[in-house]
Amino acid sequence: MPTAAKSSGAGKTAAAKKSGAVRTRRASNVAYVFFNCDAEKSHGSMNIFYNHEIYRDTQASRKALWQRVKEEQAASRIEIAEDDLTSVRTAILESDPAEASRYIRFGSIETFVCH
């Protein structure tokens, strides 16, 4: 009988842990892709086989996307006016990363829906 009491108590503990667990926000169903492109941002100039990294809508991925944008600017593959750097950083890290595209020349961040 003592064995049954132990397993019963263990079940209650596990159930208590489950109900007290902190719930996390459900993952977003969007992802972002940074593309190098022409000045007009034509879709024909955006090559998924060249720019093949997909950034999910998570804090870590947004930070990685921001790092990528900074690397592309440092390598002179994209242009961002000094006055617009803060706007680009804020859009990528805190709001809609695709909005940063309007400040980037020769680069674009596109939104894709994941199913």
Q: What is the pLDDT of residues 80-99, one digit of tens each?
A: 999 999 999 999 999 999 99
78 pLDDT higher than 70: yes
pLDDT in the model for residue 22: 57
Q: What is the pLDDT of residues 25-36, one digit of tens each?
A: 566 899 999 999
16 pLDDT higher than 80: no
7 pLDDT higher than 90: no
Q: What are the strands, taking DSSP E only, across 41-114?
A: 54-56, 79-80, 104-105, 107-113
pLDDT in the model for residue 28: 84
Q: What is the pLDDT of residues 35-77, one digit of tens each?
A: 999 999 999 999 999 999 999 999 999 999 999 999 999 999 9
Phi and psi torsions of 48, nearest 5°:
-65, -20
Query: Can you give the pTM of this predicted structure?
Result: 0.75
Average pLDDT of the chain is 86
